[in-house]
Amino acid sequence: MELKLSIIIPVYNGEKHIEECIESLTKQTLSDCEFIFVNDGSNDKSVELIQKHLIEDPRIILINQKNSGVSVARNTGIESAKGEYIGFIDSDDFVTNDMFEVLYKEAVKKNADVVVSDYYLGRDGKYVKKKTVFEYGFLYDNESINKKIIPSLITNEDIVLPAVWNKIYRRKFLQDNNFFFLKKFSLEEDILFNIQVISHAKTLFFIDYCGYFYRETVGSASRKIAENSFFDRIIENYNIDIKSLTNITIPYEEVKKFQAVKLVNLSLYYLFKGAIDDQITNKERNLLYKRIILNNDVVFSSKKYKQELLKNKGLLEIVMMFIIRNKLITTAHILGFLLNKIYTPKLSEIFRSLNQKVNVFIK
């Protein structure tokens, strides 16, 4: 008899939170499933902790591989999976006891290739519910998926779409189409996987349910932009030929427009974050401003798709877009200084709004 669900958990040095993850899985009310832990060359106590639970629960499977990255680890899990549906969870996250039973029952009931749920985002020990903008309970067919959902996925305008861990996928559908994670992309592997999978799905369903707890890693994203090649990777992803990689039916120019909108929204987000982030120095802030405002792809996108980008933008976002289009570094410093001094919960709401539009998961 075929298992109902295979849950794939890539693991790399996850000892800090992995026991909470394991315990949330072993308590699942859906018993007819398997938990495939793929150890990606961990050198901490992760494997030891998994093995302890493996003895107690035969549903736990441990696969060891040399360090090859999360995409390869997930692909290893997909190749080993035996369940009717496949789900994912990160080793530092956890789920409610009925998470996968709820998703599985809806998948079977609707005969859906993909089921999407909401999730909880954890920051500073507090979890906030993140909800889709799409209609619950409606079974999207392939035409409506490519017309409505894929554009939102590429631009990141729906916060629940990019990740893989708040979804389950029909395994036969993945196998028949030879869908795997693309190995050479380290920043947006989830999004690229979902673009190719969801764009080919015959049916997709959004469920009004929230059972996944995503733990955001503590650290300064602004410093990542200023100090290392993180923004270079964002630009690299902007230049990815999504259409040829994923074989989607949307015209090339439309895809590039969606990518440009996403790039500028990312830039606005990090300009704002850099202005209010007290964890970075003025030198790092200056580097951040220069990396973004003087980048040719960002400036080009902000000019070419100006009208598209101005939709639903507030005054602060419009001013920041003007700064980008005209490469006004000094003006950016003045605005950033003012924002840092007058930062309030009201501005925090603007920040959250920008965050929802970019939705980059960094762990």
* Number of Cβ atoms within 10 Å of the Cβ of 249: 12
- 16: three-class secondary structure by DSSP: coil
> What distance in Å separates the CA atoms of residue 23 and residue 218, rounded to the nearest whole number?
23
pLDDT at 1: 60
Is CATH 3.90.550.10 the right assignment for the domain spanning 3-215?
yes
Pairing status of strand 3-11 against strand 94-95: unpaired
Give the model's pLDDT for residue 230. Answer: 76
Do the beta carbons of residue 206 and residue 116 sit within 8 Å? yes
- How high is the pLDDT of residue 349? 62
What pTM was estimated for this model as a whole? Answer: 0.86
pLDDT of 181: 95
Collapsed DSSP state (helix, strand, coil) of residue 329: helix
Using a 10 angstrom Cβ sphere, with 0-12 exposed, 13-18 middle and 19 or more buried, the burial of residue 176 is: exposed
Q: Do 40 and 9 form a contact (C-beta atoms < 8 A)?
A: no
pLDDT of res. 159: 87
The amino acid sitting at 241 is: D
Under the phi-then-psi rule, with left for phi > 0, alpha for psi from -120 to 50, and beta for the rest, what region is 44? beta
Instruction: Choose among 304, 81, 275, 73: nearest CA to 189.
Output: 73
- The domain spans of the chain are 3-215, 221-358
Give CA–CA dist 57/34, Å, rounded: 10
30-40 residue pLDDT tens: 999 999 999 99
Residue 102 in tokens = 């709820």
Question: Block means of pLDDT (10 residues each) for the chain, length 363 residues?
Answer: 92 96 97 97 97 95 96 98 98 97 98 98 86 95 95 89 97 97 81 95 98 79 62 87 87 94 92 86 90 96 92 86 96 91 67 55 47
**Residue position matching structure tokens 């699942």:** 28
pLDDT of residue 143: 95
Question: What pLDDT, on the 0 to 100 scale, is given for residue 187?
Answer: 65
Tens digits of per-residue pLDDT, 275-304? 888 888 888 889 999 999 999 999 999 999
- Annotate 112-122 with b (16+ C-beta within 10 A) or e (fewer): bbbbbbbbbbb
User: Which residues sit opposite 332 in a β-bridge?
Assistant: none
Sign of CA dihedral 203, 209, 210, 212: negative
Give the pLDDT of residue 280: 84
Structure confidence at residue 160 (pLDDT): 93
- Cα separations (Å) of 343 from 275, 276, 317, 347? 9, 7, 15, 6
Contact of 357 with 157, CB cutoff 8 Å: yes
Cα separation of 107 and 103, whole Å?
A: 6
Report the C-alpha gap between 25 and 161 in whole angstroms: 23
